[in-house]
């Protein structure tokens, strides 16, 4: 039997669909086999599990208040700790898979970053994921549970959240644009590929980046989305014009869609190396440009 936390979330739903409800017990805030708030409750389980997939977590929010910042630690750290306490109080699984993020590296630019890179995140989301990873690693070592941590980049799949959702909406409404040809490459992975590999990687243990191994650029990705939406390809803004807009954004603030910091991020490659996954368990993902369907 498998325990899946966060099964109502974007990735969790796809994991549930891939695996089938006959083999999974779910844990969510509502409408689950175990309906609890992990950030404030320790679960009491009625059965034991061979595998635990911990995909519940807080993401896709730019915190504006101290309360919102603390929310990342309440959900991602305290929630993980409560889950581990509940398992320890019931029975220990054979394997534990934690869904983490490349945000732990704290980088906005870089090429083919490996799992050995220092964890430098300073933002609440990235720091909360670092803390949660450390909790899981220590707990699994103490209890002799096979531990797997998957550090994921942008995740593609039907009706995605986050930055990919923003790009889709922008293209749909006609206000998305590429900058300097949209040549900056970003790592991305299909949610279905992640879901399929979890039962396999759980047998190995370890920390792994997962990507589609192609790392499309903004132009390729935006053209794919525009084609599926039957929209024209997004227009391009020269870098010189974008820099002027960014300076205006620095002065005016969030009313404008771009500033110098965001421009640097958009116009820079940020890719991650997953050779370790290929060598360890034969990771062979589908290119997002070939497999991504918006709905």
- C-alpha 292/C-alpha 248 separation (Å) is 35
Residue 246's DSSP bridge partners are none
99-109: per-residue pLDDT in tens? 999 999 999 99
**Distance (Å) of CA 19 to CA 13, 145, 293:** 10, 21, 20
**Is residue 167 domain-resident?**
no
- pLDDT interval class at 6 (50, 70, 90): very high
- Position 132 in a domain: yes
Give the integer Cα–Cα distance in Å for 88 and 85.
5
Q: Is 170 inside any structural domain? A: no
pLDDT band with cut points at 50, 70 and 90 for residue 205: very high
Q: Is pLDDT of 279 > 80?
A: yes
For residue 103, is it within any domain?
Answer: yes
pLDDT greater at residue 263 or residue 38: 38
Binned at pLDDT 50, 70 and 90, residue 255 comes out as low
pLDDT value at 197 more than 90: yes
Q: Cα separation of 61 and 103, whole Å?
A: 13
pLDDT of residue 218: 95
Write out the DSSP string of 138-180: HHHHHHT-EEEEEEE-EEESSS--HHHHHHHHHHHHT---EEG
Q: Would you give the end-to-end CA distance of the chain in angstroms?
A: 30
> Cα(44)–Cα(253) distance, rounded to whole angstroms?
47
Which CATH number do you get for residue 197?
Answer: 3.40.50.720
192 domain-assigned: yes
| For range 120-146, the mean pLDDT | 97
Q: Under a CB-based contact definition with an 8 Å cutoff, are residues 50 and 19 in contact?
A: no
Check whether 256 has a pLDDT greater than 80: no
Taking each helix axis from N to C terminus, what angle separates 162-173 and 218-228, rounded to the nearest 10 degrees?
A: 60
CB burial readout 130-166, b (16+ within 10 A) else e:
bbbbebbeebbeeeebbbbbbbbbbbbbeebeeebee
- Phi and psi, residue 245, nearest 5°: -60, -40
Give the H/E segment covering residue 124. helix 124-143
Cα(146)–Cα(51) distance, rounded to whole angstroms? 9
What's the average model confidence in pLDDT over 80-94? 95
Residue 114 lies in a domain: yes
Q: Is 225 contained in some domain?
A: no
Tens digit of pLDDT for each residue in 218-252?
999 999 999 999 998 898 988 888 888 888 888 88
Whether the pLDDT of residue 254 is over 80: the answer is no
Mean pLDDT of all residues in 196-219: 97
The token pair that represents 29 in the structure block: 């805030």
Domain count within the chain: 1
Range of the domain at 42: 2-158+188-212+273-290
- Asked whether residue 202 is assigned to any structural domain, the reply reads yes
Provide the pLDDT for residue 68.
83
Q: List, for residues 109-130, the tens digit of each pLDDT value.
A: 999 999 999 999 999 999 999 9
286 and 201 Cβ atoms separated by less than 8 Å: no
């Amino acid at each position: 039997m498998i325990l899946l936390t966060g099964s109502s979330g974007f990735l969790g739903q796809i994991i549930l669909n891939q695996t089938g409800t006959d083999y999974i017990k779910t844990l969510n805030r509502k409408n689950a086999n175990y309906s609890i708030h992990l950030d404030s409750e320790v679960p009491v389980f009625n059965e034991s599990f061979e595998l635990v997939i911990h995909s519940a977590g807080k993401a896709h929010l730019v915190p504006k208040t101290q309360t919102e910042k603390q929310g990342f630690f309440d959900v991602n750290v305290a929630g993980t700790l409560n889950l581990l306490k509940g398992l320890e109080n019931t029975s220990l699984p054979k394997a534990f898979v934690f869904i983490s993020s490349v945000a732990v590296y704290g980088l906005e630019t870089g090429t083919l970053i490996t799992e050995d890179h220092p964890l430098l995140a300073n933002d609440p989301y990235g720091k909360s994921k670092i803390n949660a990873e450390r909790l899981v690693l220590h707990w699994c070592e103490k209890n002799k549970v096979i531990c797997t941590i998957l550090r994921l980049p942008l995740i593609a799949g039907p009706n995605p959240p986050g930055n990919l959702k923003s790009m889709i909406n922008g293209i749909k409404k006609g206000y998305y644009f590429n900058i300097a040809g949209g040549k900056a490459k970003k790592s991305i992975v299909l949610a279905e590929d992640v879901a399929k590999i979890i039962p396999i990687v759980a047998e190995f243990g370890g920390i792994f980046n997962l990507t589609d191994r192609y790392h499309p650029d903004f132009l390729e990705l935006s053209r794919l989305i525009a084609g599926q939406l039957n929209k024209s390809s997004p227009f391009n803004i020269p870098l010189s014009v974008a820099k002027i807009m960014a300076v205006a954004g620095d002065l005016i603030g969030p009313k404008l869609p771009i500033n110098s910091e965001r421009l640097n991020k958009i116009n820079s490659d940020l890719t991650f190396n997953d050779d370790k996954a290929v060598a360890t368990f034969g990771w062979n993902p589908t290119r997002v440009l070939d497999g991504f369907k918006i709905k």
